[in-house]
C-alpha cells in the first residue's frame, strides 16, 4: 500500500479514465494488451468496474481497513494492478502463509509479500490467477467485512 503521513493514506480512488491511463502509461504494445486483458479478467472475477487509484494503479472494488500494527486506516482496492516499466505489478495476493499453495502452477512470476510481478500475461496461467484473486477477495471481505 502507498505510504502515508499522519495516518492518512496518500493513494486514493479517483475518476481518471482507466483506458486513457493504459494508453499513456503502458510503454509497449504487449503491456497495453496485457493491461486490457487484465482489466477484463479482474472485472469478471471481482464484479467491479476498473477505477484509477493514485497515479498508476488500477483497482477493482474496495474495502476499509484499520492497521493492526499502527493507527493507519483507509480504503484500498480488493484487486488491482499497475503496468509498470520493469514488470506488471499484480495486487491480487494476500501474502498469508495459508495462501502460498495457491501460487502453485501460476507460471513465471516474482513475489513480494503481497504483490506478484510478471513480465507478460502469457507467462502465467490465468485460471490459476483467477483462483488466487477469488481467494484474496474472500479473505479481504471476511477480514474487513467488505
Q: In what order do the strands lie in the sheet with 13-14?
A: 13-14, 50-53, 57-60, 79-83, 88-91, 116-118, 110-111
Give the residue extent of every domain in the chain. 12-144
Classify domain 12-144 by CATH architecture: Alpha-Beta Complex (3.90)
Region 55-76: what's the mean pLDDT? 91
pLDDT digits (tens, 9 = 90+) for 85-110: 999 999 999 999 999 999 999 999 99
Residue 8 pLDDT grade (very low, low, confident, very high; cuts 50, 70, 90): low
Q: Which three cell numbers stand for residue 129?
A: 490467477
| 17 pLDDT above the threshold of 50 | yes
pLDDT tens digits, residue range 30-60? 999 999 999 999 999 999 999 999 999 999 9
The predicted pLDDT at position 7 comes to 53
* Confidence band, pLDDT 50/70/90 cuts, at residue 4: very low
What does the pLDDT read at residue 14?
Answer: 96
Q: What is the pLDDT of residue 10?
A: 77
pTM of the model: 0.91
Q: Report residue 135 as a C-alpha cell.
A: 481467494
**Over 60: is that where the pLDDT of 29 sits?**
yes
User: What pLDDT band is residue 146 in, cutting at 50, 70 and 90?
Assistant: confident
Q: What torsion, rounded to 10 degrees, do the Cα atoms 20, 40, 9, 83 define?
A: -60
Amino acid at each position: 500500500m502507498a505510504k502515508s503521513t499522519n495516518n492518512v493514506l496518500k493513494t486514493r480512488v479517483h475518476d481518471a479514465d482507466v483506458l486513457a491511463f493504459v494508453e499513456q502509461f503502458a510503454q509497449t504494445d504487449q503491456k497495453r494488451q496485457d493491461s486490457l486483458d487484465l482489466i477484463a479478467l479482474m472485472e469478471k472475477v471481482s464484479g467491479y468496474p476498473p477505477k484509477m487509484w493514485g497515479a498508476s494503479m488500477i483497482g477493482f472494488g474496495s474495502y476499509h481497513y484499520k492497521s493492526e500494527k499502527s493507527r493507519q486506516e483507509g480504503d484500498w482496492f480488493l484487486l488491482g494492478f499497475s503496468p509498470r516499466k520493469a514488470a506488471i505489478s499484480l495486487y491480487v495476493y494476500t501474502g498469508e502463509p495459508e495462501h502460498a499453495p495457491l501460487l502453485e502452477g501460476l507460471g513465471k512470476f516474482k513475489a513480494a509479500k503481497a504483490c506478484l510481478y510478471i513480465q507478460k500475461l502469457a507467462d502465467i496461467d490465468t485460471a490459476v490467477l483467477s483462483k488466487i484473486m477469488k481467494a484474496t477477495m474472500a479473505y479481504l471481505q471476511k477480514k474487513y467485512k467488505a
